[in-house]
Amino acid sequence: MPGKLLGDMDALFPEVQLPESRVLIIITGGTICMRRSPDGLVPAKGFLKAGLAPRPSFNDGSYPEPLEIVTDDKGTKKAVQSLRTPISTYDRRVRYSVLEFEELLDSSSIDAAGWDHIAKTIYRNYQLFDGFVVLHGTDSLAYTCSALSFMLQDLGKPVILTGSQAPMMELQNDAQDNLLSSLIIAGHFMIPEVCLFFNFKLFRGNRTTKVSAEDFNAFASPNIPPLAQITSLRTNVQWNLVYRPTEVNPFSIQTKLDTAHVACLRIFPGMKPEMVDAVLRTGGLKGLILETFGAGNTPGGPDSAMTRILADAVKRGIVIVNVTQCLSGSVSPLYAPATVLGRAGVVFGQDMTTEAALTKLAYLLALPDSTPQEVAKRMSVSMRGELTESTRTHFEHPKSGTLTPELSNLTALGYAVQKGNLQDTRDIIRGEPRWLLNDADYNLNTPVVSALSHYHLEVAS
């Protein structure tokens, strides 16, 4: 009934223009746009005409004027057909156009060049649209989401990647719900992140992983809840989870991710150290993602062959990042084997997915003037919400009844910072340079945060 009333109002008052947002749908390929052929399902062109225009949910029948899109780095513009959705729950229409890649790909074939193509397409059209939806195959979707989250720098608009387990042209499919929901979110909500939408849930893209090859519920975000969920009544956005940059800079992109110089290796019981050494001596290798047991453990101890091989590789300038094989959880110095790796120079990947760790490493290595030391340092720091930064709390009652030297120094540092005593602060830090500035009090404030909160800028710097 509400939809009918709104339609009647449009007929009675055609001059009344409801607000509309503009979204560009970028089609890279994948199951969602596939059709049957004698050789099985294959990506097919003409998705707007065959898949969207005949469906009332995607086309209100108004057939608005074409929209312009930029097609190359020279700024060449091309007028393409646009469609408009019916009025949404939020009294807004979404007007959209479709840009299909010349070569539609199965997602298993996408690489860094494909990521560059997507990023450049968004960059060229950034000022012309309010949001972007990228249609992509599911097999490598989590990798592309993670890569784009780093490549799209200072993003201020929603970029939502989606796909389907069954093609839009099949009778039973998840394509229509996934695409329509992505389109509505991109056109209604200012979520300035690279996201993945699937099965009524919007995830942070660099937190996702594919968990099923068949189910419609194909993706999960094990270490952070969904940013939004679709219900029968509305879109429920968890605004407290939405990542927002702390600085305002012009939108830019970083291309040419160094995927040819990174690798991923999964540790297994009985693995020979020579296997790890062979991978680490691959010509041109600059970084390795090491998938380890549990909280970051590998076989052997501090003097084992495995540890020596990893330590030697770090000394040669190879950045090694430790992530867990588990679906959820974090790599931390909880157990001795993980601590041993940390002392050997292996970076704790914390709760990053393998997809996020690999693409982040490739992104950092592609930055101008990057060094192994700088890359290793930034791998354990959140850049786009891809990991949960954690710190130990040391303001606590000691179980032994006495304060350890570390706790005493952190307490003394806290008082020195609070008083703005620069000389005492320097003296304490010189005595404990390894970890003091990374630890926090019971309010989870580090010494630097405490100095800033008391406006002691000289101490903070």
Catalytic residue among 28, 31, 121, 235: 31
- Whether 339 sits among the annotated catalytic residues: the reply is no
Q: Are 386 and 149 a contacting pair, CB within 8 Å? A: yes
**Three-class HEC string of the chain:** CHHHHHHHHHHHCCCCCCCEEEEEEEEEECHHHEECCCCCCEECCCHHHHHHCCCCCCCCCCCCCCEEEECCCCCCEEEECEEECCCCCCCCEEEEEEEEEEEEECHHHCCHHHHHHHHHHHHHCCCCCCEEEEECCCCCHHHHHHHHHHHEECCCCCEEEECCCCCCCCCCCCHHHHHHHHHHHHHHCCCCCEEEEECCEEEEHHHCEECCCCCCCCEECCCCCCCEEECCCCEEECHHHCCCCCCCCCCEECCCCCHHHEEEEECCCCCCHHHHHHHHCCCCCCEEEEEEECCCECCCCCCCHHHHHHHHHHHCCCEEEEEECCCCCCCCCCCHHHHHHHHCCCEECCCCCHHHHHHHHHHHHHCCCCCHHHHHHHHCCCCCCCCCCCCCECCCCCCCCCCCHHHHHHHHHHHHHHHCCHHHHHHHHHHCCCCHHHCECCCCCCHHHHHHHCCCHHHHC
Tell how strand 67-70 and strand 262-266 pair up: unpaired
Which active-site residues does the annotation give? 31
